[in-house]
């Protein structure tokens, strides 16, 4: 089994070119909207499962193998 096949069996989807690496958000409180916003990616800190997951996974959460699945589960999938 090569790396790409191994990845697919582990995560259930094809290997993407970019690889996920944890990079912590840097939240800044914006009083104008009364919420914290990540200064790198613009993630708004909301109280829902998907956001909490994204916060844990850091700024590159959109590259995480579970990203699409998480988005679907929490109703954020377009």
Least distance between Zn ion and beta carbon 26 (Å): 7
Query: Which residues in the 29-48 window bind Zn ion by CB under 5 A?
Result: 38, 40-41, 43
Name which of 15 and 63 has its Cβ closer to Zn ion.
Answer: 63
Q: How many residues does the chain have?
A: 78
Cβ 15 vs Cβ 7: under 8 Å? yes
**Nearer of residues 7 and 66 to Zn ion, judged by Cβ:** 66
CB 23 within 8 A of CB 60: yes
State yes or no: residue 59 binds Zn ion (CB under 5 A).
yes
Report phi then psi at 13, rounded to 5.
Answer: -150, 165
- Nearest distance, CB of residue 5 and Zn ion, angstroms: 32
Alpha-carbon gap, residue 45 to 26, rounded angstroms: 11
Interface residues with Zn ion (CB under 5 A) are: 25, 38, 40-41, 43, 59
């Amino acid at each position: 089994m090569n790396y790409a096949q191994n990845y697919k069996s582990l995560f259930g989807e094809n290997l993407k070119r970019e690889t996920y690496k944890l990079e912590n958000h840097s939240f800044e409180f914006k009083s104008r909207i009364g919420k914290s916003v990540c200064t790198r990616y613009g993630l708004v800190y909301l109280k829902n499962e998907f956001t909490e997951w994204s916060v844990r996974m850091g700024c590159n959460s959109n590259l995480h193998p579970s990203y699409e699945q998480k988005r679907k589960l929490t109703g954020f999938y377009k």
